[in-house]
Every structure is written in structure tokens, then in C-alpha cells.
């Protein structure tokens, strides 16, 4: 190519991919207009990228910048010559057009690739495909699609999500790892066909990997973690949720090599015990987020170890760890002052979260110490913490002015007095957005009157609050018309049978 010719994909990233990786597979010229009509509108349009990225070699050829027409190699100036009648191609520099194309999504890029040969080069240039999410096409993605993407994008690709792509297996991901060695973010959530072999490939070729999601990859074993620790030492985020073959030995191997881990999600890894947490404590001093949901063998001893070694911890999920007591809350209060979010629901990916749903041994004493030491708490879900009383709400009202969301579901000892303290606090007046009180049997319409002080309240859950009435909700909504109230009221009389015993009309569920 002459020195005066524009170069597509210029810059640092372009140096990482060979010229053969500059353009993705192009649609063949024959039938182009028909395909454009077919995929121009409606849900079928979402399959268009798969035509461009995964079509068989027999149906099209690979378009390169030096092979636009079979037997007649063209340079870029020739492609963008006056023969291309598009005014935009004449007026705008090709580098600027390429920059514009970089903002388009997958579907739009592939549509643009069918407009002209010039736009085909621009749309399918590897620099435009640094981040790819195939979740919307998960049912159509096969291994060859991933292989073609890797061959065409090569060193440009930084982020790939194959979440839910159950048709992708080890062989395709080996090809991917060999071709895309600059990958930093890889999501394999739900790719149930992959095994330890995929992790070996990633370990061998993808040393720059920082974020890896292996959720529900149930064939993954300790061997995968050993491989990852040896080859992916830059890893910062690892999700092993529901990989139930993982044990303490795998965790030890992982953390010895990946000492920069900041987020480790181990939901449903039911074989993990306190000893696994001891290994995490010893090596992962940068850890910010840890998810141990449903790790039912974990006890206070393990939580105490984590708190002593991971002082940067801001998010901790302990939902389903039913053996925990106030000793765990005490350890968190004394060692993790950065804790901002305290939730007791299935773990989310939000930073600064503590979750402990169904930890029924926790009491007011533990939450009092937590509130007095963690003043930046914003979200708390105390669902099924059946021993807590209004005392916990009083402490939160005094010490946690940033509280935005609070769940008290099934906390049957909470009364209107606790809601009074909450609604009169700084967080009640200024911050509170979500309050869940379902199955709080002592709550009455008086609590709703107190909540009228919470001017920012957006959602209120009142399912099965038997002492709350329709009239009480109506009065509150007159003062807070923007709030969404979810409530349940039993019918005055049982629904009558309609057309036989098997057909009944339910009139008892009301959402306000």
C-alpha cells in the first residue's frame, strides 16, 4: 500500500493484529439486496450479524482490503473513488468515517457492511470489534461463529460476552484463545459445554485476562483454577458461581497465583469450608467483593478470618450461610469500616454490599455494632433476620444517614415505632427510596402515616401485612402520589366457582 493511502485501524491497537485480521467476513455480492430486505426490519434483523460473522465458506468469501473483487485487487483510494456515488464518502476522511463506525452496535455494523464495498471495509474493520456481546444471539451462536470472530478480530478484541451461548465448546474457545491474546474481559456464563480444557487454553494464551465469568460452567474443577493461577496472574474478577466441584484446594491454587483479585464470586460452591477462606485471607489483600451465597459450610471462624485479612472489603454476600452469628457482624464492624451496602438477598454485582439472607441467628446486638462502625451503609436487606426488633431500626436511623434501600421482609418483631424512628431520621427525610415490609405482621396504618415524611420514597412492599388497610394506603398515596405500593388483600368472601370445580376466578391479589 502506498504511503499516501489511508490506513484503516491505525494506532496502537492496529499494531497488534496482522493485515489478514483487518476485515471481518463480508457478505457475498450475490443476493445482497435480498438479504438486506430480509433483515431490514423486525426480529429477524438480530440474526444478521451471524450471517456476516459465521457464514460458511461455500456461501461467501472473506473480503480483504486488497481483495475486494476476485482477480482485481483494489487499493482503498480506488474503493473510495468517484465511482462510489455516496456523498459522505467523498466529503469525509476515511479515518473519520472509521471513527463514526466505532460507535455502532453489532446489528448496525453488519447492516452498514451491506451498503457498499467501501462501507463493508469500514464496518468490518477489526478496530470496530473490540467489544462484542452475543447474548441477544445466544441460541444461534455456534462454535464456528466464535472461531470466525477470533480470526477476523485477532489482537483488537478486548471484551467478549458469550453468556448463554450453550453451543460453544472447548475447541472453539481454544481457537479463540490462540487468536485473541489481548482479551481482557471474557464472559462464559452458562456455557455448559466447556471444561478444564478451556481454562488451560486461556491460561496458555491469554495472559492479559482481567475479568472472567465461569458461572454455571459445572464441569470446571480445581485443575482449571490451577491453570488460571499460572497463566492469568493479572486476573482481578473471577466468577465461579455454581461450579460445585471447586474445593479448598482449588481456591488455594488460585489465590497463590492471582494475588491481585478484587472480586471473587463463589455462589453455590457448596464444598467450600472455612479453610478456603483462610487461603483467601492470606493472599488476597486487595479483595473488595466476596460472594459466598449458599456456601452452607462456612461458619463465623471463616468470616472472622476474611475480615482480618481483607480490610478493603466492601461487598460480602453470606446469604444462606445459616451457621453465622453476631460474631461475624462484630468482625465486620471492627475490621471493614469501608462497608457501604448491607443486603440480605441473592448477591448482586454492586460494589460495597453485604448479604446474609436466612441468617436467622443474627440479633440486634450484632447490627448495633455494625451500624455504629459502618456509617456509609446505603442498602440493607435484613430479610428473615427474625430476631431483630425496633432496636436495630433505631441504630440505623441514628448512625446510617445514607441508607437508600431497606428490606425487613419476614422480620415479624418490627412495629410502627421502629418505622417512626426511621421516617424521622436523616435517611428517611433525604435518602430512603425503597422499603420492603412484607410479612411484618405488627405493621399497621400508623406506620404508613409515619412514612409520609419520606418524600423520596419510590417503592413500598406490603404483601401480607394483615393490619394494613386499603384506606391507609390511599391516604399515604395522597401525600406521596409517586410511590409504588405492592400489597395483597384477601377477598371479603371466597371466590365462587365458575363452570366447575376446576375453574375459579381469583380476585384477591391487588397491586397498587
144 and 61: one domain? Answer: no
Q: Is 380 exposed, middle or buried (0-12, 13-18, 19+ CB in 10 A)?
A: buried
pLDDT of residue 485: 96
Verdict on whether the full-model pTM lies above 0.85? no
**CATH classification at residue 249:** 3.80.10.10
DSSP element (H, E) containing 263: strand 263-265
Query: In 3-state terms, what secondary structure has residue 72?
Result: strand
Range scoring the smallest mean pLDDT among 18-27, 182-191, 274-283, 330-339: 18-27
Residue 160 in domain: yes
Residue 27 in domain: yes
Segment 442-448 mean pLDDT: 97
Residue 59 has pLDDT above 70, yes or no: no
Domain end: 243, 261, 279, which one? 261
Cα 423 from Cα 53, distance rounded (Å): 56
106 and 219: one domain? Answer: no
pLDDT of residue 122: 85
Residue 93 in domain: yes
How far does Cα 319 stand from its chain's mean position?
A: 18
pLDDT of residue 492: 55
56 and 124: one domain? Answer: yes
Tens of pLDDT, residues 207-242: 999 999 999 999 999 999 999 999 999 999 999 999
Provide CB contacts within 8 A for 459, sequence distance 6+: 433, 434, 435, 483, 484, 485, 486
pLDDT of residue 47: 52
Closest CA to 407 of 349, 473, 460, 476: 460
147 and 227: one domain? Answer: yes
Largest CA distance in the chain: 86
Structurally, the chain folds into a number of domains equal to: 2
Residue 358 in domain: no
Q: Is 178 exposed, middle or buried (0-12, 13-18, 19+ CB in 10 A)?
A: middle
Residue 203 has pLDDT above 80, yes or no: yes
Split at pLDDT 50, 70, 90, the class of 128 is confident
pLDDT of residue 91: 77
Residue 510 in domain: no
Tens of pLDDT, residues 77-111: 444 444 555 677 777 888 888 888 888 888 888 88
Cα 46 from Cα 337, distance rounded (Å): 47
pLDDT of residue 53: 55
CA neighbours within 13 Å on the CB side: how many for 222? 11
Cα 23 from Cα 21, distance rounded (Å): 6
138 and 212: one domain? Answer: yes
Average pLDDT along the chain: 80
Tens of pLDDT, residues 254-292: 999 999 999 999 999 999 999 999 999 999 999 999 999
Quick one: the chain helix, strand, coil %, rounded to 5? 40, 10, 50
Question: What separation, in Å, do the N-terminal and C-terminal C-alpha atoms of the chain show?
Answer: 68
Residue 66 has pLDDT above 60, yes or no: no
Cα 396 from Cα 399, distance rounded (Å): 5
Structural domain harbouring 153: 130-261
Q: What grid cell was written down for 165?
A: 451461548
| 335 neighbors 373 (Cβ within 8 angstroms) | no
111 and 217: one domain? Answer: no
Residue 37 has pLDDT above 70, yes or no: no
Range scoring the smallest mean pLDDT among 71-80, 152-161, 272-281, 418-427: 71-80
Residue 177 in domain: yes
152 and 229: one domain? Answer: yes
DSSP element (H, E) containing 160: strand 159-161
Domain end: 228, 261, 294, which one? 261
| 262 neighbors 288 (Cβ within 8 angstroms) | yes
How far does Cα 294 stand from its chain's mean position?
A: 19
Split at pLDDT 50, 70, 90, the class of 374 is confident
pLDDT of residue 431: 93
135 and 102: one domain? Answer: no
pLDDT of residue 42: 39
Tens of pLDDT, residues 299-328: 999 999 998 899 888 888 888 888 999 999
Segment 157-184 mean pLDDT: 96
69 and 98: one domain? Answer: yes
Cα 137 from Cα 160, distance rounded (Å): 13
Q: How far is CA 377 from CA 321, 351, 356, 370, 447, in A?
A: 21, 12, 15, 10, 23
Tens of pLDDT, residues 458-503: 999 999 999 999 999 999 999 999 999 999 876 655 555 544 444 4
Split at pLDDT 50, 70, 90, the class of 349 is very low
Segment 2-19 mean pLDDT: 37
**97 — phi, psi (to 5°)?**
-60, -40
Cα 272 from Cα 185, distance rounded (Å): 26
Domain end: 108, 128, 148, which one? 128
254 and 244: one domain? Answer: yes
Split at pLDDT 50, 70, 90, the class of 356 is low
pLDDT of residue 127: 83
66 and 163: one domain? Answer: no
Residue 350 in domain: no
CA neighbours within 13 Å on the CB side: how many for 259? 6
30 and 112: one domain? Answer: yes
Residue 269 in domain: no
| 220 neighbors 199 (Cβ within 8 angstroms) | yes
| % the chain with pLDDT above 90 | 54
Cα 307 from Cα 338, distance rounded (Å): 11
Amino acid at each position: 500500500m502506498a504511503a499516501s493511502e489511508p490506513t484503516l485501524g491505525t494506532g496502537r491497537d492496529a499494531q497488534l493484529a496482522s493485515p489478514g485480521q483487518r476485515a471481518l467476513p463480508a457478505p457475498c455480492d450475490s443476493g445482497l439486496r435480498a438479504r438486506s430486505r430480509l433483515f431490514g426490519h423486525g426480529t429477524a434483523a438480530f440474526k444478521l450479524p451471524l450471517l456476516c460473522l459465521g457464514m460458511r465458506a461455500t456461501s461467501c468469501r472473506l473480503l480483504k482490503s486488497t481483495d475486494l473483487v476476485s482477480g482485481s485487487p483494489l487499493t482503498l483510494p480506488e474503493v473510495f473513488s468517484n465511482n462510489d456515488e455516496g456523498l459522505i464518502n467523498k466529503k469525509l476522511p476515511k479515518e473519520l468515517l472509521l471513527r463514526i463506525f466505532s460507535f455502532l452496535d453489532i446489528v448496525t455494523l453488519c447492516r452498514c457492511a451491506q451498503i457498499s464495498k467501501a462501507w463493508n471495509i469500514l464496518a468490518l474493520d477489526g478496530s470496530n470489534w473490540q467489544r462484542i456481546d452475543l447474548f441477544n444471539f445466544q441460541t444461534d451462536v455456534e462454535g464456528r461463529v466464535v472461531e470466525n470472530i477470533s480470526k477476523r478480530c485477532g489482537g483488537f478484541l478486548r471484551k467478549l460476552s458469550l453468556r448463554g451461548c450453550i453451543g460453544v465448546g472447548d475447541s472453539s474457545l481454544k481457537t479463540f484463545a490462540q487468536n485473541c491474546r489481548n482479551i481482557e474481559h471474557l464472559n462464559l456464563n452458562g456455557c455448559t459445554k466447556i471444561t478444564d480444557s478451556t481454562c488451560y487454553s486461556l491460561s496458555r494464551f491469554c495472559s492479559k485476562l482481567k475479568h472472567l465469568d465461569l458461572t454455571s460452567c459445572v464441569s470446571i474443577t480445581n485443575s482449571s483454577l490451577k491453570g488460571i493461577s499460572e497463566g492469568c496472574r493479572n486476573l482481578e474478577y473471577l466468577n465461579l458461581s455454581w461450579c460445585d466441584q471447586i474445593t479448598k484446594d482449588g481456591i488455594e491454587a488460585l489465590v497463590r497465583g492471582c494475588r491481585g483479585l478484587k472480586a471473587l464470586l463463589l455462589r453455590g460452591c457448596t464444598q467450600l469450608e472455612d479453610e478456603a477462606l483462610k487461603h483467601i485471607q492470606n493472599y488476597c489483600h486487595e479483595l473488595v467483593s466476596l460472594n459466598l451465597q449458599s456456601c452452607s459450610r462456612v461458619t463465623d471462624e471463616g468470616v472472622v478470618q476474611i475480615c482480618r485479612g481483607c480490610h478493603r472489603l466492601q461487598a460480602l454476600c453470606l446469604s444462606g450461610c445459616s451457621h453465622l452469628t453476631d460474631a461475624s457482624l462484630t468482625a465486620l464492624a471492627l475490621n471493614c469500616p469501608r462497608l457501604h451496602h448491607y443486603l440480605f438477598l441473592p448477591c448482586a454485582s454492586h460494589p460495597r454490599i453485604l448479604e446474609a439472607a436466612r441468617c436467622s441467628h443474627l440479633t440486634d446486638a450484632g447490627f448495633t455494632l455494625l451500624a455504629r462502625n459502618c456509617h456509609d451503609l446505603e442498602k440493607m436487606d435484613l430479610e428473615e433476620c427474625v430476631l431483630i426488633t425496633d432496636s436495630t431500626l433505631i441504630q440505623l436511623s441514628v448512625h446510617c444517614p445514607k441508607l437508600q434501600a431497606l428490606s425487613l421482609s419476614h422480620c415479624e418483631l418490627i412495629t410502627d415505632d421502629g418505622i417512626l424512628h426511621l421516617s424521622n431520621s436523616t435517611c428517611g427525610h433525604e435518602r430512603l427510596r425503597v422499603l420492603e415490609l412484607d410479612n411484618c405482621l405488627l405493621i399497621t396504618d400508623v406506620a404508613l402515616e409515619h412514612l409520609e415524611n419520606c418524600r423520596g420514597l419510590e417503592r413500598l412492599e406490603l404483601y401480607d401485612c394483615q393490619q394494613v388497610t386499603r384506606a391507609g394506603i390511599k391516604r399515604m398515596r395522597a401525600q406521596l402520589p409517586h410511590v409504588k405500593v405492592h400489597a395483597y388483600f384477601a377477598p371479603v368472601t371466597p371466590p365462587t366457582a365458575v363452570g366447575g370445580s376446576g375453574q375459579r376466578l381469583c380476585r384477591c391479589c391487588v397491586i397498587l
